[in-house]
Structure 1
Amino acid sequence: MYKIIGFPRTRAMRVIWLLEELGEAYELDPAMPQSEKVRAVNPSGKVPVLMEGDEPITDSIAICTYLADKHGRFTFPAGTLERARQDSFTQFGVDVLEGALWTAAKNTFINPEDKRAPEVKDVCRYEFARGLDVLEARLGDGPYVMGETFTIADIIIGHCAGWAVAAKFDLPKDGPIHAYFNRLRERPAFQAMMAKVAGAA
């Protein structure tokens, strides 16, 4: 059984979602970021941490990539053009969408007050909106970013959509991106993840 260390309303949601998609057993330790329990397995204090036996794996992208590769699902094989495209979408989600959201969060409540620049949040909203335009242009006709195949790239981008709602960033109310995010939210594993998150709140 896997063990996830990290308060669920964080990037831990990505790992919970993937494990629900995989149908793998896991337990959840809802430790807060920067807590002693988290720092004991990750010096940065960041969550989530996946415990594979006694071995901690840190960073949600690394965790999701490891799990998908290990179980041979929701990813394309390494060294293929499809994997390169998938990784490109994952990196886009992290660099562009999450980048805007994380910068806004740091300047809202994470950084000390004297280290915040609240005015940057308008720039973050602008960059996020531009990112959605790029995503729409790249999405194509398939239900997911890799066409018919749901991958961890969809989990990363889908999590960013939920984060955007919580951060009061605008999401499209119709059109291809709206439909894409709805498809992700309709997945049973996503709904199971949300139930876990609500239960741990």
Structure 2
Amino acid sequence: MYQVIGTARSRALRVLWMLEELDQPYEHVPVNPHGEGVKPFNPAGKVPVLIADGTPITDSTAILTYLADRHGALTHPAGTLDRARQDSLTQFILDEFDAALWLAARHSFVLPEEMRLAAIKNTLRWEFERSQKTLAHRMAEDGFLMGDRMTVPDIILAHCLTWALTARFPIVEHRLTDYLERMRVRPAYQRAAAR
């Protein structure tokens, strides 16, 4: 059985959702970043941490990729062109969506108050909106990002779009709004988000 360390209000939601999609048993330890019980597994104090076979794995994308590869689901096989496209989408979402949202969070409540730059959030919102237009051109016509098969970047994107709504970063592309609605009604997402 896996153990997931981190609250569902963090990137740990990605891991919880993945395990629900895979129908794998796990224990959830809902600890906040830097909370007691995190640093022995991740000296940076960041969550999520997945304990697999007694070994801690950090970084949500590394965890999702590991789980997908281990269980042969929600991914394309390594060494295929579809996997290259999948990895390209994953990197785009991390660079253009996740990074903007994390930088905005850092300048909202993570950094010491004297280090925060409130004005940076306007630039980040602009970049976030521009990135949506680019992604809308890369998306499959319907279903998931790559077509009729859900993959790792779908979990990351849906999490980022949900985070964007909380952070008041507008979703300006209707295709992304529709996509997010479809993803958030999935039973596995509902179970993970309820934790």
TM class by smaller structure? over 0.9
Partner residue in 2 for 1:199: none
DSSP 3-state at the match of 2:74: coil
Partner residue in 1 for 2:13: 13
DSSP 3-state at the match of 2:37: helix
Deviation at 1:142, TM superposition (A): 3.1
Could you report, residue by residue, the CA deviation over 1:4-37 in whole angstroms, capped at 9, with x for unpaired residues?
Answer: 0112210000000000000001111111211241
Matches within 5 A, 1:1-201: 1-172=1-172, 175-196=174-195
The code of the aligned residue for 2:192 comes to: M
Distance in 1 separating the partners of 2:30 and 2:111: 22
Distance in 2 separating the partners of 1:60 and 1:175: 27
Size of the aligned set, in residue pairs, is 195
The code of the aligned residue for 1:138 comes to: R
Distance in 1 separating the partners of 2:25 and 2:5: 14
Question: What are structure 1's unaligned runs of at least 5 residues?
Answer: 197-201
TM-score by length of 1: 0.94
Distance in 2 separating the partners of 1:175 and 1:60: 27
The code of the aligned residue for 2:184 comes to: R
The code of the aligned residue for 1:187 comes to: R
Could you report, residue by residue, the CA deviation over 1:33-85 in whole angstroms, capped at 9, with x for unpaired residues?
Answer: 11241111111110000001321000000000000000000000000000000
The code of the aligned residue for 1:61 comes to: T
Which moves more between the two structures, 184-193 or 101-110? Answer: 184-193
Q: Is the 8 A contact 2:20 2:191 kept in 1?
A: yes
Percent identity at matched positions?
48
Distance in 1 separating the partners of 2:118 and 2:49: 30
Distance in 1 separating the partners of 2:107 and 2:133: 24
Which moves more between the two structures, 162-171 or 64-73? Answer: 162-171
Distance in 2 separating the partners of 1:41 and 1:142: 40
The code of the aligned residue for 2:5 comes to: I
DSSP 3-state at the match of 1:39: coil
Which moves more between the two structures, 101-110 or 176-185? Answer: 176-185
Deviation at 1:119, TM superposition (A): 0.7
TM-score by length of 2: 0.97
Runs of 4+ in 1 over 2 A off after TM superposition: none
Distance in 2 separating the partners of 1:74 and 1:36: 32
The code of the aligned residue for 2:178 comes to: A
